[in-house]
Amino acid sequence: MEFCRRTKTSHIIAIALLFFILGLANSRVVESRKQRRSNLFDFQAINCRKHSAVLTDFGGKGDGITSNTKAFQSAINHLSQFAPDGGAQLIVPPGKWLTGSFNLTSHFTLYLHQNAVILASQDESEYPIIEPLASYGRGRDGPGGRYISLIFGTNLVDVVITGGNGTIDGQGSYWWDKFHKEELKYTRPYLIEILYSQQIQITNLTLINSPSWHVHPVYTRDIIIQGLTIRAPVDSPNTDGINPDSCTNTRIEDCFIVSGDDCIAVKSGWDEYGIKVGLPTQQLVIRRLTCISPDSAVIALGSEMSGGIKDVRAEDITAIASQSGVRIKTAPGRGAYVKDIYVRRMTMHTMKYVFWMAGSYGEHPDEGYDPKALPVVQNINFKDMVAENVTIAGNLAGIEGDPFTGICISNVSIGISSFSKKKPWNCSDIEGVTSNVSPQPCSLLPDNAPGSLKGCDFPEDQLPIESVPLKTCSVAGKYF
């Protein structure tokens, strides 16, 4: 919090950057005019659809007051019949579409016009209670079930949620207040949650003010997330950006995230429940991410990592006024591993920590966890980074008797703030090497002669998700 107060100036810089990014929107206006002339709105997707329908055909009213829950659900139920016949797209035209939770279907595209806003209802009865996730054993906010997410899908194949940067507004303030007052009986809804699915695309949307996490794919594979702007107040509780959870083969790119918690939080279940389910998050690419997260991490690995986290590749990341860069959070009881993590080309301005990893993250789902289930943290690589105005370069604390090993840091330049009175590095129970890192790292990370570093390299192969091509699809202008 002390840090938070001191970052006011940097918030101004952040706002300036936002305006710069807003400026980019002008070129989009020209582009969409061009598209309107030819009476087609083009977009990129894993699959185009043979059938189209518009929300208003199902009684939808975009007045911001009428509930569209039935309109969304009956539209999607109707369009699900086209799954074996080329699939279908549901078009959300300009307007403010208030709705409770609805469920998606397979071979389906939800397309939001640039001026379409889906407004999440603040009526709790619009969110049925569902079972906790098997790998968590309970809801994240409390024991027992949880409110279903606003946009929900399970056991699906080939789903696209996209648009010309249309908006999904979680109207989270209602839930944040009740969460702070401990008045909620169940865990808060997420904005988008997809379970047990494959071939999922979520692109070119603005997601704001989720009641809790914004995008939560779980037990899912082959996911493309691109071009998302995610915004929530920096003091809103648990408003993480994107949380891949027990997912395989995921690509997250070109996203801008400002939020009250981690911009990206990589997870795989919690203590004995996550260990039992045993599904890791693996084969994850994160690139061209810009993040502002004053009290949390740019990319967090954990703390729920009990199914394991491996093969994560993050590159070309910009962080502004954030608490830490890539942060590893774990604890005795979590079991499993965080390994084969590769990060390169990060630029950071105004950070409390550049590097932060710790094996003392407290929270447990219940008393049933096994304190002897120690996590393995191994082969963690960082290279080619520049950071300015930093309070502490690295706070690296493994677990006594279970050190974090194979840490490799090379070509990293960290400018420590002249206000900082702290030691730049604080290390315990870790092993690794460094090369060309300033300020000089702690003695547990000795400086090796350049060229002798092994393992600090970024993988040269591609993950399967990196070569999935997108097709050019369209929506006819007559729907708007």
Ligand X SMILES: *[C@@H]1O[C@H](CO)[C@@H](O)[C@H](O)[C@H]1NC(C)=O
CB of 167 to ligand X, least distance (A): 6
Work out the burial of residue 71: count CB atoms within 10 Å of its CB; fewer than 13 is exposed, 13-18 middle, 19 or more buried: buried
Is 411 a residue that touches ligand X (CB under 6 A)? yes
- Within 125-269, residue ranges assigned H as helices are 173-180
HEC string of 21-55 equals HHHHHHHHHHHHHHHHHCCEEEEEECCCCCEEEEH
Q: Which is nearer to ligand X, 221 or 349 (CB)?
A: 349
Work out the burial of residue 85: count CB atoms within 10 Å of its CB; fewer than 13 is exposed, 13-18 middle, 19 or more buried: exposed
Is 381 a residue that touches ligand X (CB under 6 A)? no
Taking CB under 6 A as the criterion, which residues in 141-180 touch ligand X? Answer: 148, 152, 154, 162, 165, 167
Is 276 a residue that touches ligand X (CB under 6 A)? no
Phi, psi of 280 (to 5 degrees): -80, 165
Is 29 a residue that touches ligand X (CB under 6 A)? no
CB of 44 to ligand X, least distance (A): 4
CB of 442 to ligand X, least distance (A): 10
Is 476 a residue that touches ligand X (CB under 6 A)? no
Phi, psi of 166 (to 5 degrees): -65, 170
Q: How many CB atoms lie within 10 A of CB 113?
A: 21
Which of left, alpha, beta for 215 (phi over 0: left; psi -120 to 50: alpha)?
beta
Query: Could you give the CA distance from residue 394 to residue 407 in angstroms, rounded to a whole number?
Result: 12
Cα angle: 386, vertex 388, 389; to 5 degrees: 155
Cα angle: 16, vertex 17, 18; to 5 degrees: 90
Residues marked as catalytic: 261
Among 149, 259, 391, 434, indicate the residue that binds ligand X (CB under 6 A): 391
Query: Closest CB to ligand X belongs to which residue?
Result: 9
CB of 126 to ligand X, least distance (A): 10
Q: Which is nearer to ligand X, 7 or 187 (CB)?
A: 7
Chain Cα centroid distance, residue 106? 23
- # chain residues binding ligand X, by CB under 6 A: 41
Site map 196..235 versus ligand X, x via CB under 6 A: -------xx-x-------------------xx-x------
Among 417, 455, 466, 480, indicate the residue that binds ligand X (CB under 6 A): 417
Is 103 a residue that touches ligand X (CB under 6 A)? yes
Which residues contribute to the site for ligand X (CB under 6 A)?
Answer: 6-7, 9-10, 21-22, 24-25, 28, 43-44, 73, 103, 128, 130, 148, 152, 154, 162, 165, 167, 203-204, 206, 226-227, 229, 345, 350, 384, 386, 389, 391, 397, 411, 417, 422-423, 426, 428, 470
